[in-house]
């Protein structure tokens, strides 16, 4: 596709006031497609189209103001633009507006408004909106807690391949809320999400394999799934790998690997990993013995309320 030639054609139409062309040109400048990345020109052309009531332009301009690099963040303006697009039936704007009300960006947290706009998008089969309605019912945010309703909405999104919803279904089946506990179903949904790279599901799948819940215990597969999650920065997976290697849970004991994984989790603020790393420095396990480093990591854990770390420091 010759983006440069397309860009020239769009520029001519945009100069004539064509809102579709202005929108497409603004998106090209925003995404570095066929023209150099230029946030100023992206805002210029998207504003031209948005001023004509073009819903796609309003939505994209809102996303720019909500957090694009190179443009000052303005949640109030983003909220206003999203509402204009959402009221025209723009599905992604409806979903994003729901997120804004849910998170309190540009407005106070308003669960009723969040649910209203999520429903609008969900009626147009937006899987993210369906998943968020499920979360609202699962948590009871502004509505009576209803795990069966949550389940129904998660299923709608999960069937469309939404990884977050698939993971949420896995959680519901795993803990037995609203449905009988069923680890086989939990495994099935977690696997679908994990195979899409959803990190939480990768960790949960590792836990199911490690504990033998819903499937034959398999530490090799457990480590494999924990590793996938850990490589994506999942602190609890990193900590768990540290435990597995440090305590030889189905693998040869390897203090060096244990310390490496504890460090990754500790650097993300995982207090148990911070304390375990302190112990390894204190005893010289997998790392050179270093009292100062041990004390430093013990302090970090204690500051986060780790009781044993606090007790240990009290003895010094």
In the DSSP assignment, the letter for residue 287 is: S
Q: Is the pLDDT of residue 232 over 60?
A: yes
Q: Which of 14-28, 62-76, 158-172, 223-237 has the lowest mean pLDDT?
A: 62-76
Mean pLDDT of 223-252: 97
How far is the C-alpha of 101 from the C-alpha of 212, rounded, in Å? 40
| pTM, to two decimals | 0.88
- Residue 178, SS3 per DSSP: coil
Alpha-carbon gap, residue 296 to 303, rounded angstroms: 11
Domains identified in the chain and CATH numbers: 1-89 (1.25.40.10), 233-316 (1.25.40.10)
Assess whether pLDDT exceeds 90 at residue 32: no
Confidence of residue 6 (pLDDT cuts 50, 70, 90): low
pLDDT attached to residue 34: 76
List b or e across 117-155, with b for residues whose CB sees 16 or more CB atoms inside 10 angstroms: bbbbbbeeebbbbbbbbbbbbbeebeeeeebebbbebbb
Of 251, 191, 253, 248, which is closest to residue 225 (Cα–Cα)?
191
Higher-pLDDT residue of 34 and 138 is 138
Q: Which tokens hold the place of 232?
A: 């994506």
Of 50, 2, 3, which is closest to residue 22 (Cα–Cα)? 50
Whether the Cβ atoms of residue 16 and residue 24 lie closer than 8 Å to each other: no
Q: CB burial class (10 A; 0-12, 13-18, 19+) of residue 77?
A: middle
Stretch 95-122: mean pLDDT: 96
pLDDT-derived band at 179 (thresholds 50, 70, 90) equals confident
Task: Give the range among 48-52, 68-72, 151-155, 199-203 with minimum mean pLDDT.
Answer: 68-72
Q: Is the pLDDT of residue 316 over 80?
A: no
Nearest-angstrom CA–CA distance, 283 and 1: 61
Query: Above pLDDT 70, what percent of the chain?
Result: 97
Structure tokens at 97: 């507006």
pLDDT of residue 5: 59
pLDDT at 315: 73
**Residue-level pLDDT at 227:** 98
Distances (CA, A) of 113 to 8, 76, 152, 226, 255: 42, 16, 21, 38, 51
Higher pLDDT pick, 71 / 59: 59
**Where do we find the tokens 């900590």?**
239
- pLDDT higher than 60, residue 273: yes
Query: Taking residues 222-237, what's their average pLDDT?
Result: 98
> Once rounded to an integer, what is the mean pLDDT over residues 223-236?
98
Considering the chain, what is the average pLDDT of its residues? 94
Evaluate if residue 1 carries a pLDDT over 60: no
Q: Indicate whether 31 pLDDT > 80.
A: yes
The pLDDT tens digits for 293-308 are 999 999 999 999 999 9
Query: What is the mean predicted confidence (pLDDT) over 159-174?
Result: 97
Contact 206, 229 (CB under 8 A): yes
Measured CA to CA, the distance from residue 29 to residue 109 in angstroms comes to 33
**Helix, strand, or coil here: 18?**
coil
């Amino acid at each position: 596709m010759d983006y440069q030639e397309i860009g020239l054609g769009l520029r001519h139409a945009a100069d004539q006031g064509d809102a579709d062309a202005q929108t497409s040109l603004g998106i090209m400048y925003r995404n570095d497609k066929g023209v150099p990345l230029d946030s100023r020109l992206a805002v210029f052309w998207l504003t031209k189209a948005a001023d004509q009531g073009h819903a796609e332009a309003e939505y994209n301009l809102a996303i720019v103001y909500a957090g694009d690099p190179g443009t000052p963040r303005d949640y109030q303006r983003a909220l206003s633009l999203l509402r204009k697009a959402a009221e025209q039936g723009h599905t992604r704007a409806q979903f994003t507006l729901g997120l804004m009300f849910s998170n309190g960006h540009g407005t106070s947290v308003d669960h009723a408004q969040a649910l209203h706009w999520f429903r609008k998008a969900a009626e147009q089969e937006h899987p993210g909106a369906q998943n968020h309605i499920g979360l609202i019912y699962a948590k009871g945010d502004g509505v009576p807690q209803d795990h069966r309703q949550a389940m129904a909405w998660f299923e709608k999104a999960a069937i469309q391949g939404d990884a977050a919803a698939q993971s949420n279904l896995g959680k519901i089946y795993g803990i037995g809320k609203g449905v009988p506990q069923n680890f086989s179903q939990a495994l099935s949904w977690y696997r679908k999400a994990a195979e899409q790279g959803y990190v939480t599901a990768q960790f949960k799948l590792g836990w199911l394999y490690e504990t033998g819940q819903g499937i034959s215990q398999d530490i090799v597969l457990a480590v494999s799934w924990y590793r996938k999650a850990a490589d994506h920065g999942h602190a609890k997976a990193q900590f768990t790998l540290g435990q597995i290697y440090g305590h030889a849970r189905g693998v040869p004991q390897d203090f060096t690997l244990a310390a490496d994984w504890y460090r990754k989790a500790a650097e993300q603020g995982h207090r148990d990993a911070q304390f375990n790393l302190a112990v390894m420095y204190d005893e010289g396990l997998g790392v050179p013995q270093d009292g100062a480093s041990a004390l430093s990591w013990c302090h970090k854990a204690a500051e986060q309320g780790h009781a044993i770390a606090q007790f240990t420091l009290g003895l010094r």
